[in-house]
Structure 1
């Protein structure tokens, strides 16, 4: 078997493979590359030593059986016998479900999560979006401090467990999206800087030196990231990638890294004959991210839309701290703006940033499905001091309103695991750092962050305490109790309507018409022949829908269809979906 590694600054590179040591040769064609051959098979342990240094794992390791600091292992992807013939699922018309393997079940493994995928198929979602799976120190964590971008976290089950998970999802008709992190590498177990200029001081990020996308040596770093992305889509049959915080990708080159990545993914999609998607997390409000490359954009297929979340969250909760301030001034007006224009900040002043932010989205060039809409995500729940979900403070009726707006809006809807039954469990920030100094720094940093907002230290969960992760695991016994069963039935009904009514997946943002009353706290909108109305107030609301007859398709509380005057009487804290005759 041939082994190779990019180590442009080394004078000597030695392969250590199952007790055999072999000096590698410089590649005569590819500058900075070393290669050599050794006997190996699936599971063979190996590593590289640079000059006189210790043996380190392969930067392109496919498996880390003993964690980020251990030796790498060979993975023979051809040895797995796939059960499912899969043609893929496109993003238009999709309903996504964000899931964290370590807390979706108490076991916290891919195999245990696969056993629960039937619930999602019955719910009606089309894609499971997995939070990051790259190896990280310890057993439990969010996954955003991973290293070894080709490998699967071993406590989750390793490479074959991911294949079994994907196989099971595809058997049930579910696509799989994987969250990948290209904007930084984990602080522990990261040996990349020893091998080459993977980082650069040319730019700084919240995590320190930036990933090298535009300084000397960046060609190989960009290739490292692109090839790892393609490996997930090809070797594991993943259907799409969620790209973490792309605004932190510092790149001044004429061809941006994201354009290079989208070009490669589209080429692989054509080669495989199935749709592949790239979904960005971005706070830039820059429509060029999701504009086609031939029209001057970067060619990503979709992006998370935090503006929709923020307007919805403030309308539901009344919160106005931090970045919620601009959205809280007139939340229903903000909802109306996002429902019809995509972004709230489209060049407007952002008081949180102290400057103008964003640019308008051209509704004639960008389809609505390219924006993901949600009422909760791992970020928006887990980055609260106590990781409290909306269900911790809102009535079941307001939760139903949130679901109504999310699942009937023009955007591709996404749910956060457990929200569909109003899970009572929090989802808190937890880590399992094996380095005591790093563990203490994370603990102190977390508490210092929230102390600035008035939180007492003892009220902020210790990320390193195993109980913090335990509290964050879903309680599957809740599904049959109330109000959980009723909320779950409502989600199922709304998702079914989204699949049944073509107007609910119409990609034309401009076709959405909205009316609202900020004081009385109701909002209604029309998408083709479908009418949606929510009343966020405790008191009933009389909502004028117009003279056309309409039949009730779904209602959280019993309602009568509008009379001859076209007025719909909606009970307090309730949502209604209607179809015009």
Structure 2
């Protein structure tokens, strides 16, 4: 329509049915069941002209959910908290999915209208303003996107073409048609969506949700095609662009370059590091934690990247993974907590402060790309629960049962609050007032000191796994990780120990007193120290 201008509402009628939203709608001002609206990118004025991008190497990532990061739950309110991230000294903010969703609250993985931005958060201009503010403060932005399925509510793609395969591709929904008849344009739909965020929204990288659920048997996998397109765009824009895959395959081809026969991802999430750290600091051994009990498992992931490198996985009941020998550690994004590992627990409970203190000490001195989850840095007491707000009564009422079935066999007693209850969402919002408490503030200072030390000492950001070694106490009380000439010593036990280390100085310690003698390094119970010989 020549007369259509910025803000004009419109929809499509197909064979007498509709109107439907535009499959590539840039704005849904009335939500997923309303009309599309024309959105003109050029109307937004950017102020990040001096931003030249940020490389993932040597970086620290901070994952956040816009709706629960602040009481207001908007991009505008999140901008007011950027100074906190600057002082923490993180390099990237990773924003959980922002596509429109049913109702007013959702994690974002039930999104539809993938080219649009949730109006609850502030719409497309809100996201641009947030990215602009991050860039002006020296922080890059990674956006979490979901290409393996669309949400069950408000998905109007079916009438427009063969977007789906007709079979359930994963637990979360119908598989996307990436390799069947008509799949050329379907692939283009997702690739163009990725390019839109990087080009029009100045996003610095994408986190690709559950790529193991992408069903693609074509000679060139969608991820390889996407990698080539993003590389070309990075050349045109003159700034680095990153692709981070969430994959549970433990397949090193994911992060190998295209010319080496890989899929060309910049990095991938590494669950093995999380599981080993979590088991060591919490003592849990249920479900998929079973194989990670004992400090030898932790020592292996710290030095080899993964635990399951072709050996037997008890949880899966089969052999799993392959060796990551030759893969740089920065290509593995590791965490102590993330939205899944907290939110997929029935009560959304976080690790206690002592566990965070020890786990963060190892994570932020490891050879991997560390990622924090919002509030972790001060030991937030608020949970991060699973919440949704489906409009259809059937979906709304069955959500709790769906979640219970999804996590059968994980070792939980499923007593979670109902996802559709607004209180579930409200309880998940961060309480920034906790920073006035001495214990929370002390933990925040510990995280700040660890990140500052990581950036100051090249040994701690060195991604070469063959330069990392680890020594474990036969009784399972302590572990020492060597990073070049630096020793990261951890006492997981509750009683003090003397480690047989020749230590010249202690650079940073989680607890006092820590002392050095001819016998070695004395550590109190549940303490960590970073030392020079």
Query: Is residue 9 of structure 2 the alignment partner of residue 42 of structure 1?
Result: no
Specify the alignment match of 2:44 in structure 1. 80
2:247 is paired with a residue of what secondary structure?
A: coil
8 A contact 1:520–1:541 mirrored in 2: no
1:441-480 to structure 2, matched below 5 A, reads 441-447=398-404, 459-480=415-436
8 A contact 2:197–2:203 mirrored in 1: yes
CA distances 1:153-172 after superposition (whole Å, capped 9, x unpaired): 01100000101100111111
Cα distance in 2 for partners of 1:208, 1:429 equals: 18
Q: 1:360 aligns with which of 319, 323, 332?
A: 323
Specify the alignment match of 2:335 in structure 1. 374
Specify the alignment match of 2:461 in structure 1. 505
1:390 is paired with a residue of what secondary structure?
A: coil
Cα distance in 2 for partners of 1:454, 1:503 equals: 39
CA RMSD after TM alignment: 1.5
Q: 1:248 aligns with which of 202, 213, 227?
A: 213
Q: Structure 2 vs 1, CA of residues 481 and 493 (structure 1 numbering), >3 Å: closer, same or farther?
A: same
Cα distance in 2 for partners of 1:342, 1:74 equals: 47
1:483 is paired with a residue of what secondary structure?
A: helix
Specify the alignment match of 1:64 in structure 2. 28
1:266 is paired with a residue of what secondary structure?
A: helix
CA distances 1:350-386 after superposition (whole Å, capped 9, x unpaired): 11111100000122xx211000111100000000010
Cα distance in 1 for partners of 2:339, 2:410 equals: 21
Query: Which sections of structure 1, spanning at least 5 residues, go unmatched?
Result: 1-36
Cα distance in 2 for partners of 1:383, 1:368 equals: 27
8 A contact 1:202–1:215 mirrored in 2: no
8 A contact 2:287–2:411 mirrored in 1: no
1:399-438 to structure 2, matched below 5 A, reads 399-438=356-395
Give, in angstroms, the shift of residue 279 of structure 1.
Answer: 0.4
Specify the alignment match of 2:310 in structure 1. 347
Q: 2:98 aligns with which of 133, 145, 152?
A: 133
CA distances 1:157-203 after superposition (whole Å, capped 9, x unpaired): 00001011001111110000000000000110100111110000367
Q: Provide TM-score, normalisation by structure 1.
A: 0.89
Cα distance in 2 for partners of 1:157, 1:207 equals: 27
Query: Is residue 517 of structure 2 the alignment partner of residue 563 of structure 1?
Result: yes
2:438 is paired with a residue of what secondary structure?
A: coil
Cα distance in 2 for partners of 1:442, 1:251 equals: 29
Query: Which sections of structure 2, spanning at least 5 residues, go unmatched?
Result: none
Cα distance in 1 for partners of 2:258, 2:226 equals: 11
Specify the alignment match of 2:298 in structure 1. 335
Give, in angstroms, the shift of residue 518 of structure 1.
Answer: 4.8
Cα distance in 1 for partners of 2:407, 2:267 equals: 32
Q: 1:219 aligns with which of 184, 197, 207?
A: 184
Cα distance in 2 for partners of 1:471, 1:356 equals: 40
1:72-471 to structure 2, matched below 5 A, reads 72-85=36-49, 86-201=51-166, 204-328=169-293, 330=294, 332-363=295-326, 366-391=327-352, 396-447=353-404, 459-471=415-427
- Greater shift after overlay, 466-475 or 201-210? 201-210
8 A contact 2:287–2:410 mirrored in 1: no
8 A contact 1:100–1:131 mirrored in 2: yes
Query: Is residue 9 of structure 2 the alignment partner of residue 53 of structure 1?
Result: no
Specify the alignment match of 1:577 in structure 2. 530
8 A contact 2:288–2:410 mirrored in 1: no
8 A contact 1:291–1:297 mirrored in 2: yes
Cα distance in 2 for partners of 1:243, 1:521 equals: 37
Q: State how many pairs are aligned.
A: 532
Structure number with higher relative contact order (C-alpha < 8 Å, ≥ 6 residues apart): 2
8 A contact 1:398–1:574 mirrored in 2: no
Give, in angstroms, the shift of residue 550 of structure 1.
Answer: 2.7
Cα distance in 1 for partners of 2:160, 2:390 equals: 24
